[in-house]
Structures are given as structure tokens and as C-alpha cells.
Structure 1
């Protein structure tokens, strides 16, 4: 009888059993190595981890073998992994025999425990270059890096019946999806990725579908409740390099391909979560550029820019990522070619962020804004609440005959995670108090207001900017942690909304009376500000489920939403 050829997936169950016996788990590493060494592991400090691992028994043996890439005696490896014959490991591509030293094994893969929120799971990847001296192969399979963790962190936690992981890589997103989804499909163009993703599924006892091919081609016309994607989003020339980061498409072509193609593969009300990069030019607003990727019909899009890099920093980051020495002449030549390409294309910066897409009926709607400040976990759930709010507003506008009428008739309350602060400048008085007029209410600016009707025009301090004796800050202290600078009338409106008793139209009348202003003149600017604060979860319609920020509960659950 011919025995099956050993593969990593076939060896996975025996590896999992041995890992449990040796406490090669997330908590096992903490117990065996200590918190300091686990922190060192997170910062890729191989020397500190190795120092602790040498005296950490079987757990330390596996850390040195599969994470640090040390050459270990075959007898040590066999004792730690009794169910995996050395010859089978060699045949499957798990390890090899370096010579010298004689009688030792060195791992070919990086294999480590991670916790994606459901306890220990193990992930196969190629050797981590930040921990081990290794040449990055063109089909390198990246492990659990910062981009991977970012995508895990921003993915909704709600149940999705079917999930597509576009460009699955090591398979970690599939593992995360299968904790709650009924089915999950991973695609990749690289055979090496599919091999290691299959092993990752097998070692965790999970069944997922793996398909070979570029972009959405492997799934044809199929639709999914959720799509997650961490595409090869490095912005550069069209020359293909390392498949985990470079697509062969020029500039931001990979991000554009995924963002524009995802909606047609979503079920009704399905959601896509995408990490993306894009080029930025002085003569083009980045929001217009990214919005151009969104189909004109059937999509609600929320785009959050996390960062912008200047070209020099961007090129240096990615050249060193592939192990190039910035002191070498070859690195300088590669940097020059890359930067020359950016200059020829008029690129002034490279933006990076998160793209959320929701499949809807009707004309598409896009909101692009900056989210550069720290935020709490659960941004994916925040996105679902945002989509619930936009859906409610569309439906209310249809019922009431327009958005203005819908907002006027709505009884709003304030989300319980909203705090209001009045700040006061302690700078010396150099000529009377300045008066600040708030911005247009664009939620991306961090300013909301329609001017201060109680004080009139702002006063110029002679420097070209307005001086401010104080300001009112309203912020959410959970989730996305949005923060707006508002004017006193907006603060009055929010204080009035706390009771959850009056529609917006009545709140405007009361606020205008207190400020001795014409309520009709204030009505339209108030609606704009209310809509902005509503989209960011500060104001919520009383009694409407699903629109509150995740993790908070309405103070008026029994109230009505609108007239």
C-alpha cells in the first residue's frame, strides 16, 4: 500500500496535539516565558526571547524552533513532537537538516499561537524576517503582521452567514471568520499561500473553501454576506515584486480593483471591509479620488483615512520591509527609481485607511473623512451602526417627504457615551476676548456649528487667525471616539436633547429663543449640524434599534423615534 505523501495539512493534527501537550499556546507562552519576553516577541526582539526560551522546557523548544528559527537537535524536536516523524516533516516542508551542525533541524516555516478573540489558534507562515535572517522569497507568505491585526480589529463581530477572504495569505482571516460564520471562502493567486492557509485551517480543526486565482475571478458571480480584504496595496510601479504586497498594477490599482469590484459580490445589506492605499496629489482632493472608485448605484461607502506618508518615508519603509539595507548602493538605486516614478506621476503623498462598503438599493453615497486619532476596539461594529443610521435616515426621508422634514420631526437623544467639556484659555488677555465661529459641520473636520448668534462675527487678532478665549468640546468616549469643537448654541441643543422628549424642530425654537435669534433662519444650519452629529453617533433617534454606538444603551429605550 502506498502511503499518502506528507503535507503540512496532513501533519497539522499531530502538531496541534503536541502543541497542547507542550503548552505552546498564547497563555502557555505567557506562563513559560513571562510577560517581558512576550512583549519582546511583539517587538521582534529575538535576543531577549531566546534568552528566556532556553530555560522554558518544551514550550521554549517550540518557540526556538518555529519562531526564532534556531537549529535544534533532532532528539529535542522528536521529544517535543513525538507524533511527527522527522522524515515526514522534511518531506512536507516543515523543516530541513542544515549541515553543519550535524544532527539538527531548522524550521522552514513560522508557526506560532495567536488569539484573534476566541482563544489560541495556530498560524502557518513563512519565516519572519524580523526574527530570522532570511531572504524574502517572491511568493513569501506573511504571518500575523500589523496590517493583519488591523483588519482583524476593524472587522464587524456580528454573525455573517458567508464570508469571502480575498487574498487569504496565511489564512488567519478565514480562521477568524469561521468562529462565527457558517461558510468561509479564501482566494489567492499564490500556490504557497493556499498551501499554508490549508495547513492553518487544518491545525485549528476548521473547514474552509480555498480557491486559486486573481481578484474576484475564482468566485465567479457568487455573493457573500461579508468580504474582508488586505490586498497587496503597496503603491508603486507596475513591476510585480513580492506577491503579498505588490499586485503588478500601477500605483493604487490594487486598492481600486478591490474597492470597485467588491459591491457586485455582496448580498443585499452585505458589508465589505478593506484595507486600502491611494495616491494623493496637490491638485486633487483625496476624497474625490477614492470616491471615484465607488459604483454610482447600489453602494453606501464609509472611507476612513488613517495616515498619509510622504514619498521618501513611504519608499524607505517598504524597501527596508523586504530586508534591503538602506546603506547599500543597490537600495539607493531602487529608492531613486521608485521616487522618480512618483515624481513623474505627480504624487505628493500616499494615503492609507479603511474602506467600508454596504450593498444597498438606490444611488450610491460616500462619506470620506479622517480618523487619525486613537480609537477603541470595535470599529467594525461602529461601521455597522453607521450604516444602520444612514439606512434609517434614508427611510425616514422617504416617509416624511425629504431629509429636512425627517430631521425636524425626529425626537433625538444623546448617546450615553457623549461627554461635553468647556475649555478656557489661560493665555494673557492681549486685547479683548476673541470669538470663534465654528466650521461648516463637516464631520471630517472635527468642527460642528453654524456660528455663534449670540456674539456676532469673529474678531481677528491681527495674525490672520481668530483668537479664542474658550471653546466647547463634545466627544464620544467609546468606539471611534469622535471629537467635535462646537459653538454654544450647538451645546444648548445637545443639552436639550438629553431628555429625549422634543423633536428637533421644537429644540431649535427653544435654543433660538434663548439666543434671541430667528428660529427660521437657524433651522437649515441646525439640520446640517444635527445630521453630522447623528452620523457620528452623538445624536440618536429615540427608540430606534441598531443605530446606537456599539456597547452603549439608550437612556430612553421606550421613547418614540419621530412624529
Structure 2
């Protein structure tokens, strides 16, 4: 049975949260930095202790964030003016003897900044919300149900950080779940549409949107069917991308399609729902199959006239992958059920010669050129900056190359101040000898490129004064070799460095 929240109940709940300061700043102030960080690591004891001195806010923290059973009178006071009977009826609370527990996960979520362009009036403009979802397996004390609606997890947060936040007219959140991508989208899109196949997910997302006074169009159906024949300026999608046998144990993670077919389906179909120049971004998984390059695999998914950037953030061993997703659903991998599910999963991997499971981000653009750009690359190093601004810059740089790609020799380039040349030297017959020269961009994802001595010398001359052709002529005199040979070697390198923001037109 799906929860039902009246507008009156949500208005009262919003009033209670505002009165008690049950928001991201209020919770952090009540718990302190150490306890808040420990809670994020799944270590709640410090938060339990800190919340004891936080009054009604502390009651809400223990009730809604820590899963504690709290005395009914204290819950009633903390949630005032919400009638406890109404909260019980809606499924927000559940009885626990003479105490009350949370029946749903309701937690603050914010961006920590202010919007450059808010598309919808109301609380959502401030980038501060409350998100309603189902309790996770830890708070349930066991396996989650098949219709479980996932809250704001690491995957959804990574997509939030990877999404481009430029103003758009229309945005589609495909497979909205608890609605977190649509909340963030409402800050830069004038109109937001959210879809899901799960009626429970739509019910909780609808409650989240109304609680935060954010206007979102909600539609139910599989994949793109609810928005047939419509186009959007931007599409974001956190699909059920878990790979394995074609089954649906949990709607939040399983598509019923075999292997990585769910990710392939979204990549194939998404560009048709974009306006000209529109952008799609999604999380995806792909199989690493024996004898096949993963880049070749995902490239085959693409329709024509689509710029695409596949960024692989991780590759998981099949055994580790299966164990991780079993635990995510609240199943002990050592239990009889866990062993049976793991065995069937691993058998499928073995039968299909799967050596690993890749995971990462996909950025797509409905291209307006005859020869779109497709790049697949690894980005497995740690970095703190969000990927969204980098994705926007990548698309800008690709568009520049598509327009000016035939004019590179006439272009004056410069190396940004954020790019350094690192040298590694080893002992040689005549002292220290440079063995590695590495170009390193110190901002964004921290791209690195190894270069040889002539390339380093060429880049040293990229100070915006001379066109590339003149620099290559000078390099041919200094290092030997014909200018034509140098051009053939330099142009692919320059294109790649431009895409990575390590060389730019002056």
C-alpha cells in the first residue's frame, strides 16, 4: 500500500521542521562536525549522544535519522502541529509499544550553495529540501521489500554532482525514485517532468515535491513511454543499472533486462528525446567481456548524430560486485539465501565470460554536426571537484573543435596556469636523466598526459603569441625532423589536450 499525504499534513510537517530547524544546517549544528561525519560513515553512537542535548530537534534526529523508538509524548511535541494520528495513518510513523518509530525515511538534503538560476519559486530555490523515501535495510533490520524506494545514496549524489547546471527550459528526470534529481533540476530548469515505473516511488516523490513546494510533472510508465513524442532540453537518469541475470528482485536496481541492456537501452533511446543541442546525463554500467574492449561495447549503443563522453570511474570484480549488491538489499551473502543468489549470479557472469563490471557517467548531446565526437576514457583517480562543470566544459571544448578543427594550425594556443609539467628523473651515466614528462592539470578531475621532449618544448611555446604552425616550424629547426611529420604527431595531441582543458585558444 502506498503512503498518502494530504496537503494539510505536508504543510504542518514543513512547519514542524522549520520550527525545530530540522534541516542540514540545524542537524550539523546540533551534532557537531565529528558526530555528523561519523554518522555519514554509518557510525551512529556519537550522533545519539550529541542529540540528547538538542531538545525537540534531537528527538527528530533520533527518530528520523537514527531509527530510534522515541516516547510518544516527545514525538508529538517535536512534530507539532502534526497530529500523531495523521502521521500514523500516512505511514510516516509506526507504533513501537508505548513509543513511536519512523515508518519512512525523511531527512534533510541540501546543496550548500545558492542557485545561479532558480526555475521554480518556493523552498527549492534555496537548494535545501527534505527527501522522503523508504527505510534502508539497516533500519528495517533485514531485507528490503521488492518495491523499496531508495533514498539519497552515494550513486544519486554522484549523479547530482556530475549533472550540468546551466539554465534550461525543460528537464526530464527519467526513473525519478525518491525525486532527488528532479529537486536539483528544478533549480535551473523552468519546467521539470519526472517519471517512474513504480507507483510507490511516484507517491513518495510527489510527497517530497509538495513538502518542499516544488512544482514537478509526474508520469508513470516504463522507460520513455510516458513522454513519447516529447523532447527536452536536458534529461537526467539514474536507471536500474545493476547487471546480471534478467530478473527483477527490487525495482530500484533491477530492470528485468539481461546484463548491461538497461544502460544500453537508455543510451540508445535518450538522444531521440532531446531538443537540438540538448544534453542527457546518466549513470551506467557496462560489462567487461573476455576478448572485447569496453569502449567498443558502449560505442555500439550510440545512435547517429550524438556526441558522447563515457567516463569510467570504477571496474568491479564480479565476486565483489555480487556481494556488494546483496548487502545493499539487506541479504547476508553467507546465508543460504545469499549463497543461492550469489551462485546464480556468478554462474551467469561465468557463462557470459564477464571479467568485470564497469561503472561511470555518460554525457550525451544531440549533435548538429555530420561527425559527432565520441570519447571513452578512464577517470579512476580520486578527485573532490564535481564532474558537472567539467562535463559542461568538455561539451564546450568539443563544440569548439568541431567548428575550428580545420583551423588548428592557424590558432594561437596557450597553456592555462592550472597546468603544470612534472618531470621524473632517474640516475644515468651522466647524472640524472629525465625518464617521464607528465602534463598535469591541477584543477577539475586532474587530467594527466605523458609527453615527450619535443611535445614539452612545443607546449612551452604555447603562450598565445604565435600560431601553432609557426611553433612547429621552430620546433623542426631545434629538434630536427620535418614540419609535416611534426604536424601529424602534434595535431591529435592538441585535440586531446583541448578536450581536457589543458590547452586553450588564446
Instruction: Tell whether the structures are fold-level matches, with TM greater than 0.5.
Output: yes
Quote the offset at 1:52 in angstroms: 2.2
Counterpart position of 2:450: 485
Q: Deviations over 1:124-152 (max 9, x none)?
A: 01112234524301111111110011001
Match of 2:81, SS state, is coil
Scaled by the length of structure 2, the TM-score of the pair is 0.93
> For 1:86 and 1:377, how far apart are their aligned partners in 2?
43
Q: Deviations over 1:148-179 (max 9, x none)?
A: 11001111121122111011011111111111
Counterpart position of 1:255: 263
Q: Which has the higher mean CA deviation after the structures are superposed, 478-487 or 360-369?
A: 360-369
Confirm or deny: 8 A CA contact 1:229 1:274 kept in the other structure. yes
Counterpart position of 2:332: 325
Quote the offset at 1:6 in angstroms: 5.9
2:27 corresponds to which of 11, 14, 29? 29
Counterpart position of 2:235: 227
1:117–1:224 CA distance, 2 compared to 1 (3 A): farther
> For 1:364 and 1:478, how far apart are their aligned partners in 2?
27
Scaled by the length of structure 1, the TM-score of the pair is 0.84
Counterpart position of 2:484: 520
Counterpart position of 1:182: 190
Quote the offset at 1:15 in angstroms: 1.1
Q: Deviations over 1:162-219 (max 9, x none)?
A: 1110110111111111112111111000011111111111121111111100111101
Quote the offset at 1:433 in angstroms: 8.5
1:433–1:530 CA distance, 2 compared to 1 (3 A): farther
Confirm or deny: 8 A CA contact 2:170 2:192 kept in the other structure. yes
> For 1:241 and 1:255, how far apart are their aligned partners in 2?
18
> For 2:164 and 2:413, how far apart are their aligned partners in 1?
26
Q: Deviations over 1:315-358 (max 9, x none)?
A: 11111111111221221121111100111111111110110001
Counterpart position of 1:50: 48
The alignment's C-alpha RMSD in Å is: 1.8
Match of 1:97, SS state, is strand
Quote the offset at 1:56 in angstroms: 2.0
1:299 corresponds to which of 281, 292, 306? 306
1:491–1:469 CA distance, 2 compared to 1 (3 A): closer
> For 1:39 and 1:14, how far apart are their aligned partners in 2?
30
> For 1:385 and 1:139, how far apart are their aligned partners in 2?
38
Confirm or deny: 8 A CA contact 2:373 2:398 kept in the other structure. no
1:503 equivalent to 2:503? Answer no
> For 1:12 and 1:510, how far apart are their aligned partners in 2?
71
Structure 1 segment 115-514 matched on structure 2, within 5 A = 115-118=110-113, 119-295=127-303, 297-361=304-368, 362-397=370-405, 403=406, 406-425=407-426, 429=428, 469-498=434-463, 500-514=464-478
Counterpart position of 1:74: 72
Match of 2:189, SS state, is coil
1:310–1:348 CA distance, 2 compared to 1 (3 A): same
Confirm or deny: 8 A CA contact 2:142 2:331 kept in the other structure. no
Confirm or deny: 8 A CA contact 1:68 1:132 kept in the other structure. no
Confirm or deny: 8 A CA contact 2:172 2:235 kept in the other structure. yes
> For 1:6 and 1:253, how far apart are their aligned partners in 2?
34
Counterpart position of 1:89: 87
| Structure 1 consecutive aligned stretches of length 4 or more whose deviation exceeds 4 Å | 431-434
Q: Deviations over 1:484-530 (max 9, x none)?
A: 111111111111012x0111111101112111332122111111111
What are structure 1's unaligned runs of at least 5 residues?
Answer: 398-402, 435-467, 543-563
> For 1:349 and 1:134, how far apart are their aligned partners in 2?
28
> For 1:526 and 1:222, how far apart are their aligned partners in 2?
43
Match of 1:246, SS state, is coil
Quote the offset at 1:8 in angstroms: 5.8
1:114 corresponds to which of 109, 126, 138? 109
1:62 corresponds to which of 55, 60, 63? 60
Counterpart position of 2:16: 18
> For 1:380 and 1:174, how far apart are their aligned partners in 2?
16
Counterpart position of 1:540: 504
> For 1:229 and 1:259, how far apart are their aligned partners in 2?
10
Confirm or deny: 8 A CA contact 1:45 1:131 kept in the other structure. no
Match of 1:306, SS state, is strand
> For 1:87 and 1:131, how far apart are their aligned partners in 2?
22
Counterpart position of 2:122: none
Confirm or deny: 8 A CA contact 1:493 1:507 kept in the other structure. yes
1:203–1:169 CA distance, 2 compared to 1 (3 A): same
Confirm or deny: 8 A CA contact 1:71 1:106 kept in the other structure. yes
Aligned length: 490
Confirm or deny: 8 A CA contact 2:333 2:342 kept in the other structure. no
1:432–1:248 CA distance, 2 compared to 1 (3 A): farther
Counterpart position of 1:465: none
Looking at secondary structure, tell me which structure has more helix per residue: 2
